[in-house]
Amino acid sequence: MIKEFFMKQMLNRAMKDAPVPVEQKEMLMNMVMKNPALFQKIAEEAQSLIKDKGLDQMTAVMQVAEKYKEELKGLAK
């Protein structure tokens, strides 16, 4: 419970100024809370692509997210 609280606080701070509707921010937060390990894996793989291939952050995340598309769809429901 404490871990979830701090995770929500961190996500709120990270998305505070993002130009995204509130509903989408809430959906993303719920997805992360359902499966934080998946998002950790996505972040690590994206960082690896940034470091190894010199990709920008958006491109790296999109490539990795495509790999986990089915899992992400399942979380969005």
Reference 30, options 13, 11, 46; nearest CA is: 11
Assess whether pLDDT exceeds 70 at residue 63. Answer: yes
Task: Give residue 5's pLDDT band: very low, low, confident or very high (50, 70, 90).
Answer: confident
| pLDDT value, residue 25 | 84
Backbone dihedral angles phi then psi of residue 73, each to the nearest 5 degrees? -60, -40
Residue-range domain boundaries for the chain: 2-76
Position 1 scores a pLDDT of 64
Please give the Cα distance from 42 to 60 (Å, whole number): 9
pTM of the model: 0.77
Residue 73: pLDDT band with limits 50, 70, 90: very high
